[in-house]
Every structure is written in C-alpha cells, then in structure tokens.
C-alpha cells in the first residue's frame, strides 16, 4: 500500500511542480548581482530537485531522525512511509498557508494541526499509555485516558520543528521560490489523499474511546479554520536594528531545551502537571515574543537570523542524539552540523555580495541623478512639448 501511494505521489507531485508565472524585465546591471547571489548554488540544486522534492525528503529526517524518535538505521528501513507522512503533511501546511495568505502564523497553526493528526489520529500516542517513547509521561500528566503533557510537548514539537524548521530550511535553499506555489492542484489532491489514507492506519493502533477521536478531529478542523481566517500584520519596521544571529541561536537553543527541561523536572519532582504545562506554554509564548521583537516583527531580519534560530533548535536535538544514541547519534549530529555550517557560509556569501551590489547600485544612481540635474531645462521642455501635443 505504501508503494502504491509512493508511485501515485511521484506521478502527480514530483513532476507537477508549477512554474513561476511572473515575468520580470531587468537590465544587465540589475541582473548581475542576482545571478551572483543565487545562481551559483540555487541553480545547481534546482537542476536535481525542486522545493517540493526537497521538502518531501527533508521533513521525515527533521521530524524523526533529529528527534531520535527513529534512529538512522531504522529510518533507512522505514523512510518510505515516513516520507509520505511527513512530506505530505509539511507540503500541505506550507501550500495552504501560502494560498490563504496567512504567513508564518497560519503555517504554525497548520503545523499544530498536523501534529495532532499524526500523534492523535494515526499513531495515537496521545492516548496510548504504553507508547514506546512516553517514559515517565505515561504516568505523569496522564488523566482521563489522555497523556496531556506528552500531547502538549508533541504539538509544540511538530509545529515548530517538523513543519517550521523544515519549511524554513527549504525556503532558504530556494530563495527565488519562497513566494511561489510548490504544488499544483493535482499535487495538493494527491497529498491530501495520501495523508487521509495513512490516517486509516490508525485503526490498527491503540483504540481510545471513539468520542476522543471525534473530539481530536474537531480540534484539527478548528485549527484549520483558524489558520485560514487569521490576519496577522506584525508591528515593526523593515529597517529596524536586529541583534546579531548568535542571539537567535541562543534563543532557539534555550526555547527547545526549556520545554524538555520543564517536562523532565516536573516528572522528577512530582509537581502538579498543570503547573508544568503552564511553564511549557509560557516558554513557547515567550520565545515567540522575543523572536518577533528582535526581528522587527519578522520584517527586519534576514535568512542569516532565521538560520541561527533553526540552528539553535537543531543543536539541542543533536546533543540529545549524541547522549542517547552513541555512535549513530554522533554521526547524525556531525552531519547536521556540517549541513548548517555549509548553509551559514552560503548565506553569508549571498548577503555579502548583495550588500556590495547594493552599494554599487546606490553609487550608480547617484551618478545618474547628477547627470540629470545638469540638463533640467531640456527635461522640462520635453515635458511641455508632450503636454502641448
């Protein structure tokens, strides 16, 4: 069944990446800096893959391998179903947020909905008291047949990491396609059908009361409606002063560490689970507020700051890999670190060349304006002649 879904997806998704429809008219002076910035790496990458294909394969790596949920050897055996699950989910979240024009707020709401679909309707770890990854959270924070702290932790994780980190990385790899659609209509339909088909596998998993599943589906529907209706125009100025990327790195690192630390300490100390849930929520909300404030309402930062924020999250997950998985974890962490360093160097070169080309453009415009001021009379005579005509 997974292979059937895979070949269906290939036929309507991998070869259905819509072309950019905008037509641009650029002079050679304008086009040269753009070519220098993006053509060297992005065009090479685009020869072998599209943003949709990269998302399809990257999403399960971020969601399963980096999180240590599925170590690399097991992932290589189960990559196909995981790619169908995470890949379709990430692409649907991104494409719906783009089509609805709700930006990152809509994307994160859809990411939360995806997390509930995966963990609540498919594998049903929200309800299963014997789920393999629960540990102490199978007891601590469980009430009325629901693993509440685990539920909150996984919703935040899938929203920020499985969806947010994946889409953020791919948009940095394909800056020229950031505002384009990555899927056509057939790709959207195929992704939806595949995700719906995978949901059917939930009937072979743990069986909570049917009313719980109905309520879970209603929450997913509510998040989807909220993601479509949300209107968010963050305050901030494009030219606002933005802190150095290292501050965003520290923010990402502490944000994800704080949530896991609060959960672990709550389980060890036995403090009431409600208090732990409030601490986790406060950490998440506080991190979002700081990111918005430092980024000028997301209007002033650039890809270097976004990558630093993502790198902080991945750094903590890499540390967990090393501690829990030994040699396999070290390999995973080293691979992630190498990829992040490559992206950082690429972004630094891109923005460095962009700054140089902008300075050249400003000097060129200054020379042009001075030449125009030397002939104001002819310019006004021409306007007068055209008006008379």
Between 374 and 225, name the one with better pLDDT. Answer: 225
Give the per-residue pLDDT at 92: 95
Of 32-41, 176-185, 216-225, 268-277, minimum mean pLDDT range: 32-41
Whether the per-residue pLDDT at 35 is higher than 90: the answer is no
Question: What are the extents of the domains in the chain?
Answer: 1-16+45-232, 238-389
Sequence-distant (≥ 6) Cβ neighbours of residue 353 within 8 angstroms: 33, 36, 37
Of 20-24, 155-159, 210-214, 278-282, minimum mean pLDDT range: 20-24
Between 226 and 7, name the one with better pLDDT. Answer: 226
Between 223 and 49, name the one with better pLDDT. Answer: 223
Between 25 and 356, name the one with better pLDDT. Answer: 356
Indicate the pLDDT class of residue 366, thresholds 50, 70 and 90. low
Give the per-residue pLDDT at 241: 84
Q: What is the pTM of this model?
A: 0.79
Q: What is the pLDDT of residues 263-309, one digit of tens each?
A: 989 988 889 999 999 999 999 999 999 998 888 877 888 899 999 99
Give the per-residue pLDDT at 348: 86
Whether the per-residue pLDDT at 369 is higher than 60: the answer is no
Indicate the pLDDT class of residue 8, thresholds 50, 70 and 90. very low
Give the per-residue pLDDT at 108: 93
């Amino acid at each position: 069944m997974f292979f059937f879904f895979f070949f269906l997806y290939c036929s309507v998704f991998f070869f259905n990446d819509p072309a950019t429809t905008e037509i641009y008219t650029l002079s050679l002076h304008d086009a040269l800096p753009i070519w220098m910035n993006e053509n060297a790496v992005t065009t090479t990458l685009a020869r072998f893959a599209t943003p949709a294909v990269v998302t399809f394969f990257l999403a399960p790596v971020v969601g399963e391998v980096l999180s240590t949920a599925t170590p690399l050897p097991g992932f290589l055996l189960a990559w196909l179903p995981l790619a169908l699950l995470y890949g379709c989910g990430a692409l649907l979240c991104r494409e719906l947020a783009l089509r609805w024009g709700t930006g990152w707020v809509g994307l994160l709401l859809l990411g939360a909905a995806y997390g509930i679909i995966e963990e609540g309707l498919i594998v049903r770890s929200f309800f299963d008291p014997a789920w393999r990854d629960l540990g102490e959270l199978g007891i601590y924070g469980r009430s009325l047949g629901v693993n509440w702290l685990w539920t909150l932790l996984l919703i935040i994780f899938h929203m920020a990491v499985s969806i947010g980190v994946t889409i953020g990385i791919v948009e940095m790899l394909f800056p020229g396609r950031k505002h384009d659609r990555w899927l056509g209509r057939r790709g959207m339909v195929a992704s939806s059908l595949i995700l719906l088909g995978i949901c059917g596998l939930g009937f072979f998993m743990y069986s909570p009361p049917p009313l719980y599943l109905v309520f879970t589906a209603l929450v997913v529907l509510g998040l989807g409606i909220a993601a479509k209706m949300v209107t968010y125009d963050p305050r901030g100025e494009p030219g606002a002063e933005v802190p150095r990327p290292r501050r965003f790195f520290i923010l990402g690192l502490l944000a994800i560490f704080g949530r896991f630390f609060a959960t672990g300490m709550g389980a060890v100390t036995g403090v009431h689970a409600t208090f732990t849930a409030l601490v986790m929520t406060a950490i998440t909300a506080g991190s979002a507020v700081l990111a918005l404030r430092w980024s000028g309402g997301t209007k002033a930062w650039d890809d270097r700051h976004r990558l630093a924020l993502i790198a902080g999250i991945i750094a903590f997950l890499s540390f967990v890999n090393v501690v829990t998985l030994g040699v396999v974890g070290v390999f995973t962490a080293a691979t992630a670190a190498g990829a992040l360093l490559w992206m950082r160097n690429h972004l630094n070169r891109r923005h460095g060349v962009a700054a140089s080309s902008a300075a050249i453009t400003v000097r060129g415009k200054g020379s042009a304006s001075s030449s125009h001021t030397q002939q104001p009379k002819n310019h006004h005579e021409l306007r007068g002649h055209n008006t008379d005509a």
